[in-house]
Chain A
Amino acid sequence: MYNINFLKQKRVELKKKRQKAVKVVSIGFLTLVVSIGLTVGVFLFNLTNIVRLKAKESKIKKLEQEIASQKDKEIKYRTIAEKLKIINNLFKDKVDKQDIIKNTIESIKDISFVKDITFENKTIEFTILTKDVFTFAQLINIVNTDIKNKYPKIKMIKILRNKDLTYQLVLRVIPS
């Protein structure tokens, strides 16, 4: 007589299924635990950062109060800095006219006479008088060499011959 065990096959199948189920349950459980763990971890990390942020904010407040207590000092400094900026600009804007007048007259004084000097809008105009045409030619020569070398922005505005045979030159010098 043969004894056939039908349950053996079933047991083997169930054993395999059980192993698979254990794996799946483990993965599911692990996923849930890891997700919660990560979320809680990030939350705690954020919490410590918020505490750090609050500390920084109170530090800022403290520093601001300390700065506010030095208001007079700051206003005094800002005023001085503003004044210094203005003085710097005034210095930049200042035309060194004294040197131009002095140097120009120095160059021509032996042969001519400066009759009129006008300074306006950062431009200096000299009205120069010479006794005759020869000294006038010398003057033109000096203007084109000596004076032009020192101040490249010069312009001869007007040449005039007077009744008494004297010659007159109006020379404009623009400081560079």
Chain B
Amino acid sequence: MNIKFLDKFADDIKKAQKVSKLMMFFGFLILVFVGSAQVKAVFKTLDEIKQKQQIIEKLKKKNNQLKNIQTIIDDQNIQKINELLPSYKPIKELIINIDTAAKNSDIGILQYSTQVGEIEKDTNTNNITQQKIQKAKKQNNYLEMQLKIIGEFSNIQKFTSLLEKMSPFMTVTKMDMVYKETKSNKYLATTDIYVRIFYFNQTDKIVQKIDEPLPEITDAQKQVLKQIVEFIPNNIKYDETIIESNREDLFNIDNLR
């Protein structure tokens, strides 16, 4: 009886050892296949959380910037910038500025003509700054006017100087001044001038970019803001009210009143 019991006990021990080995094996299997996959998933999720947090920080910053846009650039500066670079073709401003500058500098305008100009393409430019300028130039347009004026040298200088201080932004790109002595022994200069007036009317290309931060205004651009204030504003008053009349259609055309 005792011997039988001892033999059975020995068998049980062997079985238990086998089961134990199986448990270890399954334990390792779980660790290798399920556990490692879970660990990978954890790292992936943590990485995603980090990325999302970065996006949140960016969006929060942008949201705050939008809420406090006045602190970046105030309404007065916005108005000045819009005056200096309007979003429409400033034909009226060009003519009025030339007229005002001519009156204030005592010169005579012999003739002028204007045409809508397009941006020049300078393919020979290698300099990085120049390339940037060219790139920026492609985004804005200008009107060009050719003038023939006459007057004393100092007055012509005053005229060109005044033009370049008026808004919208104008610049003399070409000038040819020839002196001639008049009958009264006075020297008068006849000058051909090319003047450009700039505008930016590609506002439709500017869209909201939710994920992108707002463009920063650099220190150099902040310095420009100080210079903008010195420009002489154009005081053209535009009609903003439409006055309706109750008159009858003078030409008696149907549906045209």
Q: How far is the CB of A84 from chain B (nearest CB, A)?
A: 5
Residue of B nearest to A44 (CB): B38
User: Interface size (A, Cβ < 8 Å)?
Assistant: 74
Does A144 reach chain B (CB closer than 8 Å)?
A: no
The majority secondary structure among interface residues of chain B is: helix
The majority secondary structure among interface residues of chain A is: helix
Q: Name which of B143-151, B209-217, B242-250 contacts chain A.
A: B209-217
Q: How far is the CB of A80 from chain B (nearest CB, A)?
A: 5
Does B41 reach chain A (CB closer than 8 Å)?
A: yes
Which residues of B have CB within 8 Å of A17?
10, 13
For the complex, give the distance between the alpha carbons of A119 and B139 in Å: 26
Q: A7-B3, A59-B56, A116-B179 are in contact. Are A32 and B81 (CB under 8 A)?
A: no
Known: A86-B137, A88-B224. 17 other contacts (CB 8 A): A14-B6, A28-B19, A29-B23, A34-B27, A35-B35, A36-B30, A39-B35, A53-B52, A60-B55, A63-B56, A67-B208, A75-B203, A78-B208, A84-B225, A86-B200, A87-B228, A113-B179
Give chain B's interface residues, CB within 8 Å of chain A: 2-3, 6, 9-10, 13, 16-17, 19-24, 26-28, 30-31, 34-35, 38-39, 41-42, 45-46, 48-49, 52-53, 55-56, 59-60, 62-63, 66-67, 69, 72-73, 78, 81-82, 84-85, 87, 129, 132-133, 136-137, 139-140, 153, 157, 160-161, 164, 169, 171-179, 198, 200, 203, 206-210, 214-215, 217-218, 220-221, 224-225, 227-228
Give chain A's interface residues, CB within 8 Å of chain B: 7, 10-11, 14, 17-18, 21, 24-25, 27-29, 31-36, 38-39, 42-43, 45-46, 49-50, 52-53, 56-57, 59-60, 63-64, 66-68, 70-71, 73-94, 97-98, 101-102, 105, 113-120
